[in-house]
Structure 1
Amino acid sequence: MINPSYIFLAGASRGVGREIAHCLTQQKLKVKALLRSEATRTDLEAMGIEVVLGDALRISDVESAITQGITAVISTIGGLPKDGDRADYLGNKNLIDAAVKAGVQKFILVSSIGSGDSAQALPPQALATLGSVLAEKEKAEQHLINSGLTYTIIRPGGLKSEPATGDGVLTEDPRVAGTIHRADVAQLVCRCLNSEKANNKILSAVDRQMMYGQPDFVEFDVS
């Protein structure tokens, strides 16, 4: 079991990261979040989250933020390029390297269906559109796998912002694709945090009611 004393969250300002922030604070966990700007600082602090300003693309910022005593790191970062570098790889690489240095027990990386062997789950047009992003995400995944950290990689399908449905599921089957609400991804991430079954696993996340096609697959039980 992960000692829940201190969870570090990168990507808490929006999207899946914000939903994870809600999930963690509802569980009364101590959370520290890395933000690039002050924009959402007040909101996160009102949730009881400790905020540290910094850029994941700067290793010095990350190393000063991920300190001894942090037991797990969760990262949802990615997005627009900055100075030619995408946070999908470089930002996550910095987080992973700092986590190793700080002796973190577990690292959960939120990636994407289409990365690595799950490329087979997407149609060629989607792969062509997302190829450069997915390549960076795959590099981050591989860096984490090779880091020596205990990890869980979660690859969500297409993301929606509606409330949680409770139908989000995980699977090790890389052929599975579909959509899922961000709030359901967050719930799955929080369940994986304290699941030893999820250690060193790569899992796709979809809503069982919103799958592309209906392939037979085995759900991954994180309980």
Structure 2
Amino acid sequence: MGRSAIARCRPGSGRKEFPRDRCGLQRRQENRPYIAGSAGEPQSEKISSIQREAVNMLVRRKFLISLFLGIGLATPTTAQTGFANRNGVLVFGGTGKLGVEVVKALVAAGEDVTVFTRAGSDRSALDGLKLDYAIGDLLDEKSIAATFDAKAYRALVDASANRASTGKGGGPDRDSKGFYTAIMTPMIKHAKRTGVKQFILHGSVLAGDNIKLFPQFAFLKGSGTLIDKGQAEKILIESGVPYTIIRHGRVPNDPQPPPTGNAYLTTDQAVFGDVTRGDLAMLTLDVLGNPMRTNRIFHAFDPTFKMERPLPTGPIGPGTKGH
């Protein structure tokens, strides 16, 4: 397994639930938390009621889409992959601020989640959740390769952030020195090699050429982080791996407000707004396994949520389009 190892972390969760959805279909989730579960399921305490309802809705919708299209849950055969099944979701950056919310939502939806993390990373925010850990380093290709070899994944979520570029205040103006392109290349290489069916990237509005649509942010045009993120997006798009890019604008500082449940994805790349991490996690579930969200770039937007700090103004007026 090289320098990476899959560490099991599956504590007992008490009784099993076999709930029925609104279509009357039995949804068996053995060894998986039912999102509307009981007090005996610690992961239920880590998500809000808004997230709970959103997860239930998205799980039902994903099932119906796959049933209708006949392709949403299609996987390669064992002979093609060397694995008996391909149900896992691998999360990079899963112990970070956004990644933690994404992991919680995935686990709550019954996904088989593996979090790629360094040995010394703080995992306390994920305590009590049923998931696996793959130990490695984003800048060490051998540990990334070993992670893909140890388990079959149908999807990959990249919620990683370069700590050097996100200091106090989360400003994007510090040079990331190629961090995002450096980690994108091996992730894509081994995702493609092992037959991953979807690469979900959490990116930034203003990345790459997108900044040209926002003249009021011209002062960030030379940002090393935004240039690097744009190049990483380009590498992903040109790789041939099915992708979904979710760009977000501003995210509030901690303590994080609860999700509103009103955020949505738009293909209008001139939209910039504020959104909570919890809502970004729900949008991740929205695109996962959704053929209608594949090979597209989206901007996350919440018309009901605005941070107190005003957006810069410019030639197109206060704020930005859609805000």
**Band of TM-score, shorter chain:** 0.7 to 0.9
**Whole-Å separation in 2 of the counterparts to 1:143 and 1:37:** 28
Q: What is the percent sequence identity of the aligned residues?
A: 26
Contact 2:96 2:161 in 1 (8 A): no
Q: How does 1:183-222 map to 2 (within 5 A)?
A: 183-210=278-305, 213=319, 215=321
Contact 2:272 2:322 in 1 (8 A): no
Q: Given the alignment of the two structures, is residue 138 of structure 1 paired with residue 230 of structure 2, yes or no? A: yes
Residue in structure 2 matching 1:71, options 154, 158, 180 = 154
Contact 1:79 1:86 in 2 (8 A): no
Q: Given the alignment of the two structures, is residue 111 of structure 1 paired with residue 217 of structure 2, yes or no? A: no
The CA deviation at 1:194 is 2.2
State the partner residue of 2:111. Answer: 29
The CA deviation at 1:93 is 2.2
Q: Gapped runs of 5+ residues in structure 2?
A: 1-71, 75-85, 166-175, 312-318
Contact 2:96 2:160 in 1 (8 A): no
Question: Which amino acid in 2 is paired with 1:189?
Answer: T
**Whole-Å separation in 1 of the counterparts to 2:208 and 2:91:** 24
Please provide the CA RMSD for this pair.
2.4
With structure 1 as the length reference, what TM-score do the two structures score? 0.87
State the partner residue of 2:242. Answer: 150
SS in 2 for 1:139: helix
The CA deviation at 1:23 is 0.3
Change (3 A) 1:7 1:80: same
Contact 2:116 2:134 in 1 (8 A): yes
SS in 1 for 2:235: helix
Range moving further from structure 2, 183-192 or 39-48: 39-48
**Whole-Å separation in 2 of the counterparts to 1:134 and 1:145:** 17
SS in 2 for 1:153: strand
**Whole-Å separation in 2 of the counterparts to 1:201 and 1:173:** 11
Question: Which amino acid in 1 is paired with 2:287?
Answer: C
State the partner residue of 2:142. Answer: 60
Per-residue displacement from partner, 1:129-177 (whole Å, max 9, x unpaired)? x721011111110111111111001101101232111121111111111
Change (3 A) 1:159 1:2: farther
Change (3 A) 1:183 1:216: closer
State the partner residue of 2:220. Answer: 127
SS in 2 for 1:71: strand
Range moving further from structure 2, 20-29 or 68-77: 68-77
Structure having the larger proportion of residues in strand: 1
Change (3 A) 1:32 1:66: same
SS in 2 for 1:140: helix
State the partner residue of 1:166. Answer: 261
State the partner residue of 1:20. Answer: 102
